């Protein structure tokens, strides 16, 4: 997909699930056009640094060893700290204090990992919202839900989808009927933007009611910048989900889908029973595939011909999105 804006936007972006980063291991990642190393120190804290050693450029994520809160280069054993600074050179009495790797701020929440990206390496100018406490009106104890990873999560890699596109989808209530085979058309009940977030409330009309304002289901969705949507469902099943899109490099993104499904009473297992799992797979986890069938082949239309009801939220969303593009496309 060709878009007239950068694939290296500013904001918080999901890079995986906590369990993918075990203590004492270093792993390579590629996001926002950069090679990265992620490692969890022996103290349990997760760090993400620029991948290539300042000495002679070895990739710290391929064979790098965790040493305390530092990572050791597989090539000549130089040691780098979580602040990116060179801590130790094995064959020299002092480190090179001037040498440093770029550090990417990381936040872990409820088993999901988010990384701050600003093209020039500036510190976070806003905080990643708490994905559970955003909706205090619903159950906020994570233990009341089955954890998303691994059974209730999906990752789709290197899809040709810019993060602005799933965001636009949040304003699009008509596509449910066509893409997701919904039997009722949801209505956009409310939307409001703050500095870095966008809150949508969508309702699914109750077909069994004569009152057109009666809703069988309400979906609250909050877009945290362009990184993704945090949603809570209020209906027959009160579940939560987040859907995140993170650019890998120009032209493609990884997509992360995580569901917190309410536990069956008394069930302490990590995964829901097989029948529940099967239903979730059919009804919810497959929605990503439905959307991808469109997004993969979609063209970005800069000046779309809009239906009357779409125009306002779409155009407002696109204007709001421009704040996250601090550099030109391809830069």
Site residues for ligand FES per CB under 6 A: 53, 55-58, 73, 75-76, 78
Complex with ligand FES: residue 55 or 263, whichever CB lies closer: 55
With vertex at residue 188, the alpha carbon angle to CA 183 and CA 189, rounded to the nearest 5 degrees, is: 120
Shortest Cβ 314–Fe ion spacing (Å): 15
* 55 versus 85: smaller Cβ distance to ligand FES: 55
Please, what is the minimum distance in Å from the beta carbon of residue 224 to ligand FES? Answer: 35
**Contact indicator for 288, 319 with CB cutoff of 8 Å:** no
Question: CB–CB of 327/250 below 8 Å?
Answer: no
- Site residues (CB under 5 A) for Fe ion, limited to 42-81: none
Interatomic CA distance for residues 262 and 210, integer angstroms: 30
CB of 70: closest distance to ligand FES in angstroms?
13
Nearest to 48 by CA among 95, 96, 97, 115: 115
Q: Which is nearer to ligand FES, 78 or 176 (CB)?
A: 78
Residue 291's binding partner out of ligand FES, Fe ion, none, with CB under 5 to 8 Å set by partner kind: Fe ion
133 and 141 Cβ atoms separated by less than 8 Å? no
- Shortest CB 102 distance to ligand FES, Å: 15
Nearest in space to 150 (alpha carbons), one of 277, 23, 293:
277
- Residue 278 DSSP SS3: helix
Which two tokens mark 169? 């989808």
Structure-block tokens of residue 180: 């997701």
Write the CA distances from 242 to 16, 149, 152, 328, integer angstroms: 12, 12, 11, 29
- Shortest distance, position 53 Cβ to ligand FES, whole Å: 3
Identify which range of 98-106, 197-205, 237-245, 290-298 contacts Fe ion by CB under 5 A: 290-298
Q: Bin 225: left if φ > 0, else alpha if -120 < ψ < 50, else beta.
A: left
Which one of 84-92, 156-164, 291-299, 312-320 is the stretch in contact with Fe ion (CB under 5 A)? Answer: 291-299
What is the smallest separation between the CB atom of 170 and Fe ion, expressed in angstroms? Answer: 9
Query: Considering beta carbons, is residue 53 or 112 the nearer one to ligand FES?
Result: 53
230 forms beta bridges with: 222, 242
The distance in angstroms from the start CA to the end CA of the chain is: 17
Which of the listed partners (Fe ion, ligand FES, none) does 168 bind, with a CB threshold of 5 to 8 Å by partner kind? none
Cα–Cα distance, 99 to 111 (Å, whole number): 33
* Shortest CB 89 distance to ligand FES, Å: 8
Closest residue to Fe ion, Cβ-based? 291
**168, 291, 321, 324: which one contacts Fe ion (CB under 5 A)?**
291
Q: How many residues lie near Fe ion (CB under 5 A)?
A: 1
Q: Judged by CB, which is closer to ligand FES: 58, or 187?
A: 58
Site for Fe ion in 151-170 (CB under 5 A): none
Interface positions with Fe ion (CB under 5 A): 291
């Amino acid at each position: 997909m060709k878009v007239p804006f950068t694939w290296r936007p500013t904001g918080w972006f999901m890079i995986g699930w906590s369990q993918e980063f075990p203590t004492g291991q270093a792993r390579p990642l590629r996001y926002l056009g950069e090679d990265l190393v992620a490692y969890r120190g022996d103290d349990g804290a997760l760090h993400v640094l620029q991948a290539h050693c300042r000495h002679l450029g070895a990739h710290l994520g391929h064979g790098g060893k965790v040493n305390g809160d530092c990572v050791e280069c597989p090539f000549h054993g130089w040691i780098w700290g979580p602040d990116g600074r060179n801590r130790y050179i094995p064959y020299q009495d002092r480190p090179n204090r001037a040498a440093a790797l770029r550090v990417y701020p990381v936040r872990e929440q409820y088993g999901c990992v988010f990384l701050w990206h600003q093209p020039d390496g500036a510190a976070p100018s806003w905080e990643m919202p708490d994905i559970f406490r955003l909706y205090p009106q619903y159950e906020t104890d994570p233990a009341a839900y089955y954890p998303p990873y691994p059974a209730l999560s999906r990752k789709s890699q290197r899809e040709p989808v810019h993060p602005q596109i799933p965001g636009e989808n949040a304003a699009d209530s008509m596509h449910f009927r066509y893409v997701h085979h919904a039997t009722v058309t949801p209505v956009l009940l409310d939307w409001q933007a703050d500095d870095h977030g966008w809150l949508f409330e969508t309702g699914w009309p109750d077909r069994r009611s004569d009152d057109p304002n009666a809703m069988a289901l309400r979906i609250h969705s909050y877009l945290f910048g362009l990184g993704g949507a945090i949603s809570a469902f209020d209906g027959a099943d009160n579940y939560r989900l987040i859907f995140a899109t993170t650019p890998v490099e120009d032209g493609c993104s990884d997509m992360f889908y995580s569901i917190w499904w309410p536990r069956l009473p008394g069930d302490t297992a990590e995964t829901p029973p097989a029948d529940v799992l099967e239903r979730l797979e059919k009804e919810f986890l497959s929605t990503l595939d439905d959307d991808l069938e469109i997004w993969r082949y979609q063209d970005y239309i800069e000046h779309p011909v809009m239906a009357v009801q779409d125009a306002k939220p779409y155009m407002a969303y696109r204007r709001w999105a421009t704040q996250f593009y601090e550099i030109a496309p391809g830069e």
